[in-house]
Amino acid sequence: MSTILIIEQVLNGLQFGVMLFLMAAGLTLIFGVMGLINLAHGSLYMIGAFAAATVAGATGSFLLALAAAMAAAALTGALVEMAVIRRLYARDHLDQVLATFALILIFSEGTRWIFGSLPLYLNIPSWLAGPVALPGGIQYPLYRLALIAVGLLVWLGLWWLIERTRLGIQIRAGENDREMIAALGIDISKLYTLIFALGAALAGLAGALVGTIQSVQVGMGEPVLILAFVVIVIGGIGSIKGAFVGALLVGLTSTLGGIFLPELFKLFTDPATAQSAGASLASMSIYILMSLVLIWRPTGLFGARA
């Protein structure tokens, strides 16, 4: 296996990882501040992709589509937070899991009701299409490079938001001591709606960006949701830094596992069996990774509280 191929695969893992980070960042923020476990986060991802496909189809502009995706997801997020989610903050995780599971059913079938069962069209704009040559003779799709860049920018942006702004202080206060923010005279319910909408917007952005090179269809959010949960659990729930490290770990494990495990198995058995067995193990690899991390550190890599 050539070095070029390995570098390319690492880039692929990185790209997958940063997109997972967009999903995981919202989840982990919402859990960290409000203590809420939100299974419907994948639905916001789907809403972003559908909004982007609709707007791109109508206007032909990719940037407008991205803006629409974030706006639609943020708006849906804010409405759902005010109508349903805020009644769940004081409940146990069990109620939260069930209520947000119910939201998945409503969003998925509702989307199918509006858009029908066939997948929608959404494609890379011409100015981001095609491969570019990187140093060392690597041909890599420009769009995927752009995804890596967007992911890193969002990470920096979130870091700035949390460490350097007034809202960030409130968020950090909320994570540490909920009574304190009330004592500081901050309107908690407004803060919560805002954070939820922020997380939703990031999920919507991820949905639009990833939907562009995948299939925009009902149910696209659930597989990503599960991966995002794996990410935040590995990283430690509530920690943005943990979500970032976890996302990269999961992205790289998943991508590289799929390539190298079959190769590894070929050393012991015939190619067809090796392919199949390697692929099976690869699809389990991130769950194995997560279990190992949790057995080693029961609250994740950067998690503080249980």
Partner 1 sequence: MKKLLMAAAVMALSAGLAAAEVKVGMITTLSGGGAGLGIDVRDGFLLALKQSGRDDIEVLIEDDQQKPDIAVQIADKMIQSDKVEVMTGIIWSNLAMAVVPGAVAQGVFYLSPNAGPSQLAGAGCDKNYFNVAWQNDNLHEGAGAWANQTGYKKTFILAPNYPAGKDALTGYKRTYKGELAGEIYTELGQTDYAAEIAQIRASDADSVFLFLPGGMGISFLKQYADSGVGKPVIGPGFSFDQDILGAVGDAALGAVNTSQWSKDIDNPTNKAFVESFQKEYGRLPSLYASQGFDTANLLISALDKAQPSDADAFRAALEAAEFDSTRGAFKFGPNHHPIQTIYAREVVKEGDVLTNKIIGTAIENHADAYAAECKM
Partner 2 sequence: MIRERYLNLGVLALLLALALLARLADQSFTITVLTKVVILALAAAGLNIALGLGGLVSLGHAVFFGLGGYAMGILAFHAQNFAPLELGPLTIAGSKSMPVIWLTAIAVSALAALVIGLLSLRTSGVYFIMITLAFGQMFYYFSISWAAYGGEDGLSIYIRNGFPGLNMLDPIQFFGICFAVLCLVLLFSDRLARSPFGLALNAARQVPVRVETVGLSPMRLKLLAFVISGAITGLAGALYADLNRFVSPTMFSWQLSGELMVLVILGGVGRLIGPVVGAAIFVALEQLLGGLTAFWQIWLGVILLLIVLFARGGVVGLIAPKGVGHD
Binding residues for partner 2, rule: CB under 8 A, are 31, 37, 84, 87-88, 91-95, 97-99, 101-106, 108-110, 112-113, 226, 229-230, 233, 237, 276, 279-280, 283-284, 287-288, 290-291, 294-295, 298-300, 303, 306
State the nearest-atom distance from the C-beta of 40 to partner 2, in Å: 10
**Interface map 227-266 toward partner 1 (x if CB under 8 A):** ----------------------------x--xx--x----
Residue 222: count of CB within 10 angstroms of its CB: 16
Q: What are phi and psi of 30, to 5 degrees?
A: -65, -40
DSSP state of 302: S
Q: Near partner 1 by CB under 8 A, which window of 83-91, 138-146, 159-167, 236-244?
A: 138-146
> By CB under 8 A, is residue 276 in contact with partner 1?
yes
Do the beta carbons of residue 154 and residue 202 sit within 8 Å? yes
Which pair of tokens denotes residue 39? 């299974």
Task: Report the distance separating Cα 69 and Cα 50, nearest Å.
Answer: 8
Nearer to partner 1, 63 or 284 (CB): 284
Q: Near partner 1 by CB under 8 A, which window of 10-18, 58-66, 69-77, 197-205?
A: 10-18
State the nearest-atom distance from the C-beta of 64 to partner 2, in Å: 29
Which pair of tokens denotes residue 165? 């702004």
Q: Which does 98 bind (CB under 5 to 8 A by kind): partner 2, partner 1, none?
A: partner 2
Q: Which among 151, 154, 37 is positioned nearest to 85, based on CA atoms? A: 37
Radius of gyration of the chain (CA): 20
Q: Which among 218, 224, 211, 201 is positioned nearest to 57, based on CA atoms? A: 211
State the nearest-atom distance from the C-beta of 223 to partner 1, in Å: 6
State the nearest-atom distance from the C-beta of 159 to partner 1, in Å: 26
Do the beta carbons of residue 202 and residue 26 sit within 8 Å? yes
Task: Report the distance separating Cα 238 and Cα 160, nearest Å.
Answer: 17
> By CB under 8 A, is residue 57 in contact with partner 1?
no
Nearer to partner 2, 164 or 305 (CB): 305
Among 61, 176, 189, 215, binds partner 1 (CB under 8 A): 215
At 107 the three-state DSSP class reads helix
Determine the distance from the C-alpha atom of residue 32 to the mean position of all C-alpha atoms in its chain, rounded to a whole number: 16
Determine the distance from the C-alpha atom of residue 170 to the mean position of all C-alpha atoms in its chain, rounded to a whole number: 23
Residues that bind partner 1 (CB under 8 A): 1-2, 4-5, 8-9, 12-13, 15-16, 109, 112, 117-121, 123-124, 129-131, 139, 141, 143-144, 210, 212-220, 223, 255, 258-259, 262, 271-272, 275-276, 279-280, 282-283
